[in-house]
Amino acid sequence: MHIAEGVLSVPVLVTGAAVTLAGLTVGIKRVGPEDIPKVALLTAAFFVASLVHIPIGPSNAHLVLNGLLGIILGWEAFPAIFIALLLQAVLFQFGGLTTLGVNTANMAVPGVALGILAKRFMSLKRPALSATVAGVFSGLSVLGAGFLVALSLWFSGDSFSVVSKIIFSAHLPIAFVEALLTGMVVRFLLRVRPEILGCSVNFAGHSLDGKTNLICLVFITLFLFLPAVSHAHRVNVFAWFNGEKVVGKAYYSNGRPAEHAKIEIIGTRTGSRLSCITDEKGGFSFKPPGKDTYRLILHAGQGHRATTLVNVKIDEQTKNQDNSHNKGKGLSKLQGNGGFSSVEGVSKDTSSCKDIEKAVDKVLKVRLQPVYKAIEDMAISQSRVKVKDVVSGLGYIIGIMGIWAYMSSRRKP
């Protein structure tokens, strides 16, 4: 759900920024000094949740938690989601700075709207029903965020039907997982700290039964063993010119190949346009029409996009040799009719040089393949999200919230 730079149109970017600015204005005003630790904790949870994925069959998806934030924080979810997305864009290039407003609005609007509605059920004396309602609304928040992403892409020119099918098929399982997780969290809070949910009925007298404790333990254990580094947002493309073709690979930030993704190829000087599709391993290749600097634009779907430049230099000396070789063949025919006798010798020398160059080029291509592979592996490893980056993000969140708490305490003694 992190739409990359250069995908959305200007009206969509302006609209998303305006909605986010309005949400931030209301949300920041509602955050009191006593609420800052709670906002900080949920901001960190949202920040980390987008960096892990859960395997679902042959695919996987990541948690969103916008519904849980909307239920617990209400309007305060806007600044929490904004800060987390800002740090993800700066540290990991998930999404972008120009699309920060749209991405924040897409996740926060359904979370806040459905979270406020779910809070109306938090005063029920039956915590199981309250948890069920919260879980359902949380799952709908995930689907609502996916729907807004599809709308953003549609208003920017992408096919709505194709994008919406991809988004809903990918997020139906994760919506179910988030509904289950949110329901368990809400039921737990209703038992121990109902005031966090703004609940007027105290259920602290009730204790969790053994079955509920076992379910919670199993669920937490699964989340500790299943997650890995997410690939769901940032995509990369790496390419080079090997003398004949442009060869490259498209991959996500955990190294998984971007399968069957479209590569748009544009000549920056000539304006020539080509396209190709990546294979199952994310690889692709094409023969450039001539000397130029080509811009390769990877479209991986759902707003995921990456760009790289490849400088193609055609060997002009080889072209000249080819032309002189062809002319030499034509002139050598005149030699038998009393023509230029020296042309045949020149043609032979040129042909010998060309054969030697071809042999050398062939050997170099074979020998340089491991070098290209090593550079490709290095590029993939450098693009992966590292633990120190995640820890740095959490440190930034603590620092931002600490400054916010300090400023709030000075305004309100």
Q: Tell me the residue ranges of DSSP E strands in 193-254.
A: 228-229, 235-241, 246-252
Count other C-beta atoms under 10 Å from residue 314's C-beta.
15
Q: How confident is the model at residue 208, as a pLDDT?
A: 47
Could you report the per-residue pLDDT of 231-240, keeping only the tens digit for each?
A: 445 778 888 8
Helix (H, G, I), strand (E, B) or coil at 351: helix
Residues 6+ apart with CB under 8 A from 93: 234
Strand partners, 293: 311
* Mean pLDDT (whole number) for 82-109: 88
Burial of 38: CB neighbours in 10 Å, binned 0-12, 13-18, 19+: middle
On the question of pLDDT at 334 being above 70, the answer is no
Single out the residue of 145, 142, 103 nearest to residue 2, CA to CA.
103
> In sequence order, which ranges of 336-386 are alpha helices (DSSP H)?
342-383
- Determine which of 45-54, 195-204, 229-238, 314-323 has the lowest per-residue pLDDT on average: 314-323
Confidence class of residue 380 from pLDDT cuts 50, 70 and 90?
Answer: low
284 phi/psi in degrees, rounded to 5: -160, 160
d(Cα 188, Cα 131) in Å, to the nearest integer? 9
On the question of pLDDT at 55 being above 80, the answer is no
Q: How confident is the model at residue 205, as a pLDDT?
A: 45
Confidence class of residue 110 from pLDDT cuts 50, 70 and 90?
Answer: very high
Q: Which of 26-35, 101-110, 124-133, 238-247 has the highest mean pLDDT?
A: 101-110
Q: How many CA atoms lie within 13 A of 139 on its CB side?
A: 16
Helix (H, G, I), strand (E, B) or coil at 300: strand
Amino acid identity at 3:
I
Q: How confident is the model at residue 231, as a pLDDT?
A: 40
Residue 30 or 342, more confident: 30
Residue 399 or 163, more confident: 399
For the chain, the average pLDDT equals 75
CA quadruple 378, 383, 386, 389: dihedral sign: positive
